[in-house]
């Protein structure tokens, strides 16, 4: 069902859980009358989606839920990226050094 979306205009990670993808697709439905949460049960329709199966909505309302740990994707340090960063910092410092003594006032008026 979602293969068209994964290869179509909406690009998502290949390892995205199917319930997360289903939620996104239903929330992004172009037809606002068919969009998730637009029905007679309003937000309950969204809250009952399988993506939120582990959410205790009463605790959420009382602000008693602890936020999940953020997902941090570690990237491999590459020598080229480090060198490019260092070069950009050096170039920026050079530009700032040149601009430090710059003025709009001509020396003719001193």
Let me know if residue 73 belongs to a domain: no
Please choose, from the candidates 76, 27, 74, the residue with its C-alpha nearest in 3D space to the C-alpha of residue 52: 27
Let me know if residue 44 belongs to a domain: yes
> pLDDT 10s per residue in the chain (110 long)?
454 454 456 778 888 899 999 999 999 998 999 999 999 999 999 999 999 999 999 999 999 988 888 877 766 667 777 777 777 766 665 655 555 666 666 555 55
Give how many domains the chain has, as a whole number: 2
Let me know if residue 69 belongs to a domain: no
Whether 54 and 91 map to the same domain: the answer is no
Let me know if residue 45 belongs to a domain: yes
Let me know if residue 72 belongs to a domain: no
Distance, CA of 29 to chain centre = 20
Please state, in angstroms and rounded to a whole number, the distance separating the CA atoms of residues 55 and 66: 11
Distance, CA of 77 to chain centre = 22
Whether 51 and 17 map to the same domain: the answer is yes
CA distances from 64 to 23, 61, 93, 103 (A): 24, 8, 47, 57
Full residue range of the structural domain in which residue 57 is found? 3-61
The reply to whether the predicted model has a pTM over 0.85 is no
Let me know if residue 68 belongs to a domain: no
């Amino acid at each position: 069902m979602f293969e068209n979306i994964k290869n179509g205009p909406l690009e998502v990670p290949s390892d995205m859980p199917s319930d997360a993808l289903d939620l996104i697709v239903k929330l992004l439905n172009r037809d606002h009358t068919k969009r998730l949460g637009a029905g007679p049960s309003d937000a309950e329709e969204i809250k009952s989606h399988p993506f939120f199966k582990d959410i205790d909505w009463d605790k959420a309302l009382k602000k008693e839920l602890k936020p999940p740990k953020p997902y941090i994707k570690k990237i491999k340090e590459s020598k080229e990226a480090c060198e490019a960063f260092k070069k950009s910092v050096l170039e920026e410092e050079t530009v700032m050094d040149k601009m430090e003594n710059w003025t709009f006032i001509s020396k003719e008026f001193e």
